[in-house]
Amino acid sequence: MKILVVGCGKIGMSIISSLVKEGHDVVVIDGSRTVIEEVGNIYDVMCVCGNGADCETLDEAGVASAELVVSVTGSDEFNMLSCFIAARMGAKNTIARIRNPEYNDKSLGFMRQQLELSVSINPEWMAAKELFNILRLPAAANIESFSRGNLEMVEIPLKQQNSPLDGMSLIELRRKYNAKFLICAVQRGAECYIPDGNFVLKSGDKIGLTASQSELQKLLKMLGLVKKQAKSVIILGASRISYYLAKRLIAGGASVKIIDKDPKRCKAFAGELPEAVVICGDGAEQELLLEEGIDSVDAFVALTGIDELNILISIFAQAQNVPKVIAKVNRGELAGMAKNLGLDTILSPQKIVTDVLSRYARALHNSLGSNVETLYTLMDGNVEALEFSVSPEFKGLKTPLKELSLKKGILVAGIIRGRRAMIPSGDDVINAGDRVVVIASDRGMTDLSDILV
Amino acid sequence: MNRKMVFYLFGRILQVEALLLLLPALTSLVYGETRVLLTFLSVAGGSALFGTLVALLCRTKNKVIYAKEGFAIVALAWVGMSVVGALPFVISGDIPNYFDAFFEIVSGFTTTGASVLPNVERLSHGALFWRSFSHWVGGMGVLVFVMAIVRNMSDRSIHIMRAEMPGPIVGKLVPRASDTAKILYLIYIVLTVIQIIMLCAGGMPFFDSLIHSFGTAGTGGFGIKSNSIAGYSNYSQIVITVFMLIFGVNFNLYYLLLIRRFRSVLKSTELWAYLGMVAVSIVVITFNILPIYDNFNDSLRHASFQVSSIITTTGYTTTDFNVWPHLSKGILLLLMCLGGCAGSTAGGLKVSRAVILFKLILREIKKMLHPRAVTSVKFEGKAVEDGTLSSVATYFAVYAFCIFAAFLVICFEPFGFESNVTAVLTTFNNVGPGFATVGPMGGFGEYTAFSKIVFSFAMLFGRLEIFPMIIALSPSTWMKK
């Protein structure tokens, strides 16, 4: 499938990387010759240097035959314009990044319609949503929800030593804890497994499990993993993500403290969020953090624009025994290092965006009918969790799961029928109209039929 | 340096060469040359075996390659292919001396067409086919071929493409490098087939049309007659003239024609510069050589054939241009260095570089007149990057240095200044014939083995545009640090 990407910033680059891996024909447009050359050296894509909202440049990039145009430059207005022109020139679908909160209110629907945008993405808003989810359930390193929260998938890091689950096989675990859940992926070091019942857990593993929302709370309580919902949070850095997150937290009744160096931004935040305490000061100063009571808050979130700073201050916060510490890290390679340094929860806005885009591209690619509704990459990108809506054409309808011949590395982790989420056993069947959550160790599934041999 | 990946691809190249060697084997089978057939089969077998062994030993998960790996792979592949490709000539006894055979096959792969053989008519059909088929393979590039057929060779295979495809700026036609390679080869095959059909239609025997089409498509110049094309009909000569010119054009333009972007084709600076130079040269030479030939038609035919042959660095001839006046010879010498368009199968400096160099000179002059002038060099409607400008200028300097160096090394040869200079120019630019001893009716047979090696490397340097060879030959590329 031919996809045009306009703009090669941080988000643009990670989108390009993931689309190329998914096997699409990618054409990249950027105004900077050096950037475009760099992209051309690293990825197998076609590069066009020029203005992405200019007809001639778009024509050179072959916009008329493009299935999808993604515009992710730094400017919302530019993204809108380039998507609009691309759509008028024959691009079938367009996605624009629109970040400004002023556009992301009631006017968004109107604009999307007028500009013929298929989707608008707001990475900061999505990141804030994910952060909020994690703070709601601090035991998890990562939470993803399917079917509007009916079924949740959490990543939980086990303790490095003497975890209560050490040496327990999954069958024993199931027998011991009477709850409806399924462990669907285990990461041990760099390896990632899709386990069966005989798989034995070890300390230091990271497990991914699916359960419905209510069952999840019950299970975590039984496992002794429960940490209370974060009620007081310090946010470092007054960025767009901070704004969206603080707004949600305050609406949920939490107390929020925001620290930033820039007096102007602090002033603006204080105006927008009167309930929050806004501190103007250098977050890298430990004295300031201690003064603001970092040792007594429930959670600390580092959201400055500098990855290294976020990592280092998070390590300091962890040393002050803050129950939940989250660092935003944009660059993938730094995220890996941060995990080695002991930070288990890393927020990567790029990953959220690329997940959304991969899902969208696959849904476009699919002509068979059982579309990908949601897609998350889990366990540092080793595993994919996909939610499909089942079409009547699916070949495995009405067959008990144990009789379906599934491909290797595939697990059916949940079936959602109506509003009820089920953790499937071997006797359950998939019906048309269900939503099915599938865990896969290979990338690139576009249709539910792909799970069958 | 990802040495494993370099050698892995080297192994794959040898496997591909083994496949290619089956075609001359087939020819020998058709013509009942058992000895030659066995030779080709055994060399193919050996090449396949060795290539598989190397590929297996150097299999690696790390497929990341950077620019230097790209250069190294290309240089290594070309030298290796030539070393193996020379073997059938020696074993079958067609060219008993290995150095001669090496020169001959390098001349084939680099699409030069210079020969050490006094009369080619004595060669077996298998050997003749292999010689000309190597032109066809070398014209578009072996690694580009491998890229077209191997899936997911590497994410960064663009580096290999850049190293092998001639020209200052190598762009992709479509997002994926392997798809680009496929399109290029498809265009190449279709054009070649059309030429074969047209030559056959004019009464040329099938084997001869095959050979001459390979020679034209790769802009090589190996024939099967000592007097090259002179013995064929006027129709055949005209067909070959036209196709030589066609293969000297940037292949990207043919793709643009295919996707119906006629305007972009018509706006191509390089195309017009190329056609303009061809036209002017033909006109001047036609009138210059009019006294030698009986009538205007013959004179025009010879002039256009020779001009097309030399500017596209093919090297076929219909007449002995050694006897032409100095003006005509001077023009031919100039065209020899100029070469065809970038992105074609032709050798030489390339028209695009010449145009950019010319504009650079104008800019320098303008800068001297107006020291504060802010200027930019435009090519194909776009401003050329400073980086590209300096790399074009550097390329020209290195090109000149290499030619001087090669000339100094072989200047002990007793064939006179004209022969030696044109011998270096013609091999370095992958043309084929020069003047005097190495002229259309002569050859490289009388040069010493040492000079033949020098010429062989001159051809490889010229075909790969110098830098890949220099990088592959410098020890720091291969050292761990």
ipTM of the complex: 0.79
Closest residue of B to A42, CA-based?
A: B156
Mean pLDDT computed over B101-123: 91
Our count of domains for chain A comes to: 4
Mean pLDDT computed over B132-151: 88
A41 touches chain B (CB under 8 A): yes
Q: Which of B155, B160, B260 to mutate to test the interface with A (most CBs of A within 10 A)?
A: B155
Distance from CA of A56 to the nearest CA of B (A): 12
Strands A232-236 and A299-302 come out as: parallel
Could you tell me the two tokens for B164?
């092998």
Q: Residue A224: inside a domain, yes or no?
A: no
Q: Do both A365 and A426 map to the same domain?
A: yes
Least confident of B51-55, B60-64, B385-389: B60-64
What pLDDT does A368 receive?
56
What pLDDT does A51 receive?
93
Q: Residue A336: inside a domain, yes or no?
A: no
| Residue where one domain finishes, among candidates A96, A121, A146 | A121
Selection from A164-178, A187-201, B271-285 with the highest mean pLDDT: B271-285
A20 touches chain B (CB under 8 A): yes
- What confidence tier does A334 reach under pLDDT thresholds 50, 70, 90? confident
Distance from CA of A159 to the nearest CA of B (A): 33
What is the DSSP code string of B67-101?
A: HHHHHHHHHHHHHHHHHHHTHHHHHHTSS-SHHHH
Closest residue of A to B151, CA-based?
A: A23
pLDDT tens for residues B391-435?
Answer: 999 999 999 999 999 999 999 999 989 999 999 999 999 999 999
What pLDDT does A166 receive?
81
Selection from A195-199, A447-451, B194-198 with the highest mean pLDDT: B194-198
Could you tell me the two tokens for A213?
């929302």
Q: Residue A312: inside a domain, yes or no?
A: yes
SS3 A302: strand
Q: Do both A137 and A175 map to the same domain?
A: yes
Q: Which of A46, A57, A69 to mutate to test the interface with B (most CBs of B within 10 A)?
A: A46
What pLDDT does B298 receive?
92
Average pLDDT, chain A: 86
Residues in A closer than 8 angstroms to B174, CB to CB, are 25, 46
Q: Tell me: pLDDT of A256 over 60.
A: yes
A335 touches chain B (CB under 8 A): no
Could you tell me the two tokens for A197?
């019942």
Of B100, B295, B330, B139, the C-alpha closest to B221 is: B139
With an 8 Å Cβ cutoff, are B175 and A41 in contact?
no
Closest residue of A to B174, CA-based?
A: A46
What pLDDT does A138 receive?
81
With an 8 Å Cβ cutoff, are B175 and A44 in contact?
yes
With an 8 Å Cβ cutoff, are B155 and A43 in contact?
yes
With an 8 Å Cβ cutoff, are A25 and B174 in contact?
yes
Q: Do both A24 and A90 map to the same domain?
A: yes
Residues in B closer than 8 angstroms to A20, CB to CB, are 155
A45 touches chain B (CB under 8 A): yes
Q: Tell me: pLDDT of A323 over 80.
A: yes
**Distance, CA of A384 to CA of A379 (rounded, Å):** 9
Q: Do both A95 and A197 map to the same domain?
A: no
Closest residue of B to A23, CA-based?
A: B176
With an 8 Å Cβ cutoff, are A43 and B159 in contact?
no
With an 8 Å Cβ cutoff, are B156 and A33 in contact?
no
Q: Residue A434: inside a domain, yes or no?
A: yes
Average pLDDT, chain B: 91
- What confidence tier does B463 reach under pLDDT thresholds 50, 70, 90? very high
Least confident of B21-30, B161-170, B319-328, B436-445: B161-170
Distance from CA of B381 to the nearest CA of A (A): 13
Closest residue of B to A50, CA-based?
A: B382
Residues in A closer than 8 angstroms to B155, CB to CB, are 20, 42-44
Q: Do both A103 and A139 map to the same domain?
A: no
- What confidence tier does B152 reach under pLDDT thresholds 50, 70, 90? low
CATH of the domain at A138: 3.30.70.1450
Buried/exposed code over B432-452 (b: 16+ C-beta within 10 A; e: otherwise): bbbbbbbbbbbbbeebeeebb
Which residues of B lie closer than 8 Å to A, measured between beta carbons?
Answer: 66-67, 155-159, 172, 174-179, 385
Closest residue of B to A56, CA-based?
A: B264
Q: Which of B158, B174, B175 sits opposite A41 (nearest CB)?
A: B158
Q: Do both A21 and A50 map to the same domain?
A: yes
Q: Residue A71: inside a domain, yes or no?
A: yes
Higher pLDDT, B5 or B151: B5
Closest residue of B to A62, CA-based?
A: B174
What is the DSSP code string of B7-27?
A: HHHHHHHHHHHHHHHHHHHHH
Residues in A closer than 8 angstroms to B178, CB to CB, are 44
Could you tell me the two tokens for A253?
């009744």
CATH of the domain at A84: 3.40.50.720
Closest residue of A to B70, CA-based?
A: A41
Mean pLDDT computed over B160-174: 81
**What is the reported pTM?**
0.84
Mean pLDDT computed over B361-388: 89
Least confident of A164-168, B195-199, B217-221: A164-168
With an 8 Å Cβ cutoff, are B156 and A42 in contact?
yes
Higher pLDDT, B170 or A369: B170
Q: Which of A5, A22, A44 to mutate to test the interface with B (most CBs of B within 10 A)?
A: A44
Residues in A closer than 8 angstroms to B66, CB to CB, are 41
Q: Do both A7 and A116 map to the same domain?
A: yes
Q: Do both A318 and A374 map to the same domain?
A: no
- What confidence tier does B135 reach under pLDDT thresholds 50, 70, 90? very high
Distance from CA of B183 to the nearest CA of A (A): 15
With an 8 Å Cβ cutoff, are B158 and A2 in contact?
no
Q: Do both A6 and A102 map to the same domain?
A: yes
A31 touches chain B (CB under 8 A): no
Q: What percent of chain A has pLDDT over 90?
A: 27
A272 touches chain B (CB under 8 A): no
Q: Tell me: pLDDT of B389 over 60.
A: yes
What pLDDT does B287 receive?
93
A402 touches chain B (CB under 8 A): no
Question: Residues B335, B137, B443, CA angle at the centre, nearest 5°?
Answer: 50
Instruction: Answer left, alpha or beta for residue B219, where phi above 0 means left and psi between -120 and 50 means alpha.
Output: left
Structural domain that includes position A406: 358-451
Of A402, A401, A352, the C-alpha closest to A11 is: A352
CA torsion angle A440 A443 A445 A446 (round to 10)? 140
CB pairs under 8 A between A and B: 32
Q: Do both A376 and A443 map to the same domain?
A: yes
Q: Tell me: pLDDT of A370 over 70.
A: no
- What confidence tier does A369 reach under pLDDT thresholds 50, 70, 90? low
Q: Do both A71 and A99 map to the same domain?
A: yes
| Residue where one domain finishes, among candidates A121, A145, A174 | A121
Closest residue of A to B173, CA-based?
A: A46
For residues B366 and B377, the answer to whether their CB atoms sit within 8 Å is no
Helices B125-140 and B142-149: angle between axes, nearest 10 degrees: 80
A312 touches chain B (CB under 8 A): no
Q: Tell me what percent of chain B is helix, strand and coil, each rounded to the nearest 5.
A: 70, 0, 30
For residues B290 and B296, the answer to whether their CB atoms sit within 8 Å is yes
What pLDDT does B47 receive?
95
Q: Tell me: pLDDT of A338 over 80.
A: yes
| Residue where one domain finishes, among candidates A272, A300, A322 | A322
A193 touches chain B (CB under 8 A): no
Mean pLDDT computed over A54-64: 91
Could you tell me the two tokens for A429?
């069947």
Q: Tell me: pLDDT of A105 over 90.
A: no
What pLDDT does A420 receive?
83
Residues in B closer than 8 angstroms to A31, CB to CB, are none
Mean pLDDT computed over B350-358: 94
- What confidence tier does B356 reach under pLDDT thresholds 50, 70, 90? very high
Q: Do both A313 and A239 map to the same domain?
A: yes
What pLDDT does B195 receive?
96
Q: Residue A419: inside a domain, yes or no?
A: yes
Q: Tell me: pLDDT of B481 over 60.
A: no
Tell me the longest C-alpha to C-alpha distance in chain A: 66
Selection from A87-91, A433-437, B261-265 with the highest mean pLDDT: A87-91
Q: Residue A364: inside a domain, yes or no?
A: yes
Q: Residue A47: inside a domain, yes or no?
A: yes
What pLDDT does A26 receive?
93
CA torsion angle A122 A125 A130 A134 (round to 10)? 160
What pLDDT does B313 receive?
93
